[in-house]
Amino acid sequence: MSTHQHPQEFVSPRWSLLSRIEPIYIILAAIILAIVLSNPIYADYGPMMQLLRRASPLIILAVGQLFVIVSGGFDLSVGSLITFIVLLSALVLNTHPEQVYASIALCLAIGVVAGGLNGLVVSVLKVPSIIATLGMLLAYRGAGLYLSGGSARGNLPDAFRAFGRETIYGFPLALIVVLVFGAFAAWTLHGTNYGRQLFAVGTNPRAARLSGVNVTMVRVVAFIFSAVSAVIAAILLGGFSGVSTAVGNGYELQAISAAVLGGAVLLGGRGSVPAVIAGAIALHALFTLLNIWGFPKPMRDAVQGIIIIGAVAYSARRG
Amino acid sequence: MLFKRIATPLVVALVAGGSFAAAVQAQDKSEFFDQAEYDRQIQLLDAQPMGPEGKPWLQSMMDNYRDTSQYKKEGPWVVCFSQAGIFNPWQVVGNQTMKEELKLHPEIAEFIMTDAEGKDDKQIADINDLLASKRCDVLMVTPNTTAALTPAVERACEELPVIVFSRGVATECPVSYITPIGGYAFGAQAARFVSENLPDGGNVLALRISPGVDVLETRWSAAERVFAENEKIKVIGAEFTNDDRAIAKSIVEDYLQRFGKIDAVWMDAGATSAAAIEAFEDIGADIPIFTGEDQQDFLAKWKEEGLTAIAPTYPTFQWRTAVIAAKMILSGEPVPGPIWYLPQPTITNDNLDKYLQANMPPQHYALCGCEEMDGYPEQWGGSK
């Protein structure tokens, strides 16, 4: 377990430079190199962009999850929220295909409400976030199945699907969404007063409260960030593959894996947006590498389990 | 903070548990091959159907009408239906067609339907409940899976006339099992088309819906044999999509990454064909030889891109046939049995235009046999 102190390691000067680089960047470079060596086609611009495009929903989701993790909690509800949003959009747009932007606005509003609800249950009702969001996971899953009657109904028009499928001069639209969202998240977490308060709440909520931080507000905003990231990921995923009842499956754990891989410390107080983005790309690239090497899909889950355990053990030793 | 101490292990346990469950899922090899039935189906593809011209849902591919005078009853009747569920577009179109057919039969006073929501145990209970109610004059069943539902159907056969369709059971006790020519014909047609169009061989990816359903297992077991006969064909994988677009698309992408080239995609059903095609479009690869079914989105893509494609069908008009068979049995009229083989048209480049209906929704099945019915096209989600 981490003891929320800043690392006071003794390092020889030769290693000091290396130890200052977040390990995730080295891991990411190694995985990308392994991919290119295993299948040289990935040295090309097109396939590399394709890889990044497929990683886009996870990047956005991991960054949203980071806010909740820094605050000291978890958000397990994002995967089934993704599925719910995709199914809902399909139903709405099936009858009014011209209302693409209105439906996206509606989904974002649902995200704000869903996140606010998570945050209030955690802060005001004092339900631990892992339990609260597990309950929400079941609620959205049930709502999604109820809406769709168990099968993917309706249809997503091309204008909606553009975010997940289209490119501009060979550059995927999804990556533009990632860049905008990532820049905004990095500025919020590392450049504003809110970000500082979030770190304070994650490190020591009592101390933060005593020094005048509105802990409830800070936590609610973190959960809203996470839920809105799930809605954006849903729009990209729905665009990418159309209507599906399995679209969000397993994404909550992928997001947590990506965040800890990117150096975020579970139970709060430490993490950085660029490193988590690298973590999400690394996790997705690792899945791609396992696939190129011919490992079956279930191996990915096993690998994720090992990653979470390994990353937590690593940060506990470092912390 | 006690909770903080347990939270991390809890997350880790969640992940590890899920991983373990996924990793131990095994895939069984197909147990569903019957050479005599295979040969019969291949023969039937070229047979002349009996029955009224242009109404395939009333036709029979064989002269095997059986006497049903023992079931004759005075109307009005109560028809009961134990449905596996409405969890795919094929069932949605079928249900709509059945509803419209029911409107044509005033002698059916009551129609009692149970929905098993895709669960074997619920369907077994549903059938028992329907039998216990003693209200049914005839029972229609669309089994969820073959083996699990066989005993329940056998019990029902002891009490009343039973009609099975959509998927089969491992018993010949129903008065009539209504089926198009069958899965062997479906799978073999598609596989032969692939094999013939790849004279120099190549990589074939097979996409299947889910294991354990006879009408799907037969499709794959026939295709497997056709591909095995051609040594130049390399089946690079056979994967289950659960009929989900996202899963289908990511499987195709994974195989494109791993093998760099896919020369044909063989599918045991068409609901995810359009999604599988998108994987090639997104990566900028040429769309290879494809097999699908009679969904509009696949047919539209086929026409638009001039694909090398074929669509064997599993016509949704069999949902009309089931209601008509119930009426015939209760009237004491002879029906084909124990198996009623319906025609099974195949969509090729030559007749593609006939089945392409731009006014219908993307997941509408062209072979609903419903074009002349009252609510068409609006009731099926189409526009005039």
CA angle B171, B177, B181 (to 5 degrees): 115
The answer, yes or no, to whether residue A62 has pLDDT greater than 80, is yes
Which residues in chain B have Cβ-Cβ distances shorter than 8 Å to A150? 85-87, 117-118
Q: Are B246 and A253 inside 8 Å of each other by CB?
A: no
User: Which range has highest mean pLDDT (A8-17, A168-177, B285-294)?
Assistant: B285-294
B234: β partners: B203
Comparing alpha-carbon positions, the chain B residue that sits nearest to A238 is B246
Whole-number percent of chain A with pLDDT over 90: 62
Best of B257, B259, B281 to mutate (most A CBs within 10 Å, chain A)? B257
User: Which range has highest mean pLDDT (A32-46, A237-251, B152-166)?
Assistant: B152-166
The answer, yes or no, to whether residue A10 has pLDDT greater than 80, is no
> Which among B4, B89, B245 has CB closest to A242?
B245
DSSP A90-142: HHHHHH-TT-HHHHHHHHHHHHHHHHHHHHHHHHTS---HHHHHHHHHHHHHH
Q: Are B18 and A253 inside 8 Å of each other by CB?
A: yes
For residue A259, count CB atoms less than 10 angstroms from its CB and return exposed for 0-12, middle for 13-18, buried for 19 or more: buried
d(CA A22, nearest CA chain B) in Å? 22
- Round to whole Å and give the CA distance between B257 and B290: 19
The answer, yes or no, to whether residue A311 has pLDDT greater than 90, is no
* pLDDT given at position A245: 82
Q: To the nearest 10°, the Cα dihedral for A319, B2, B8, B13? A: 150
B208: β partners: B240
Cis peptide bond prior to B89, omega within 30° of 0 = no
* pLDDT given at position A15: 60
Neighbours of A26 (CB within 10 A): 13
Chain A contact present for B26, CB below 8 A: no
- Round to whole Å and give the CA distance between B380 and B371: 10
* pLDDT given at position B24: 38
**What six digits make up the tokens of A308?**
């979470």
- Round to whole Å and give the CA distance between B295 and B299: 6
Q: Are B232 and B202 in contact (CB under 8 A)?
A: yes
DSSP B52: S
**What six digits make up the tokens of B108?**
């059916």
Best of A293, A301, A314 to mutate (most B CBs within 10 Å, chain B)? A301
Which residues in chain B have Cβ-Cβ distances shorter than 8 Å to A155? 361-363
Neighbours of A54 (CB within 10 A): 22
Reference B68, options B339, B331, B343, B342; nearest CA is B331
* pLDDT given at position B27: 39
- Round to whole Å and give the CA distance between A155 and B96: 18
Q: How confident is the model at residue A16 (pLDDT cuts 50, 70, 90)?
A: low
Length of chain B: 384
Q: Are B25 and B18 in contact (CB under 8 A)?
A: no
Tokens 């091959």 label which residue?
Answer: B33
Q: Are strands B309-312 and B346-347 parallel, antiparallel or unpaired?
A: antiparallel
Q: Are B11 and A74 inside 8 Å of each other by CB?
A: yes
- Round to whole Å and give the CA distance between A73 and B63: 69
Q: In angstroms, how far is CA B169 from the centroid of its own chain?
A: 14
**What six digits make up the tokens of B114?**
């149970």
* pLDDT given at position A19: 67
- Span B110-118, average pLDDT: 94
Give every CB contact of residue A251 below 8 A, 6+ residues apart in sequence.
A57, A58, A61, A78, A79, A82, A233
* pLDDT given at position A151: 63
- Round to whole Å and give the CA distance between B107 and B101: 12
Comparing alpha-carbon positions, the chain A residue that sits nearest to B284 is A46
Q: Are A268 and A206 in contact (CB under 8 A)?
A: no
User: Which range has highest mean pLDDT (A18-22, A190-194, B40-44)?
Assistant: A190-194
- Round to whole Å and give the CA distance between B32 and B48: 27
- Span A174-199, average pLDDT: 97
* pLDDT given at position B315: 96
Judged by CB atoms within 8 Å, which residues 242-261 of B form the interface with A?
242-247, 249-250, 253-254, 257-258, 260
Tokens 């470092």 label which residue?
Answer: A318
Q: How confident is the model at residue A17 (pLDDT cuts 50, 70, 90)?
A: low
Chain A contact present for B358, CB below 8 A: no
For A18-43, the pLDDT digits (tens) are: 667 788 999 999 999 999 998 888 88
Chain A contact present for B115, CB below 8 A: no
For B294-331, the pLDDT digits (tens) are: 999 999 999 999 999 999 999 999 999 999 999 999 99
Q: Are A245 and A87 in contact (CB under 8 A)?
A: yes
DSSP A182-222: HHHHHHHHHHSHHHHHHHHHHH-HHHHHHTT--HHHHHHHH
Chain A contact present for B3, CB below 8 A: yes
- Round to whole Å and give the CA distance between B216 and B223: 11
Sign of the Cα torsion B358, B361, B366, B372 reads negative
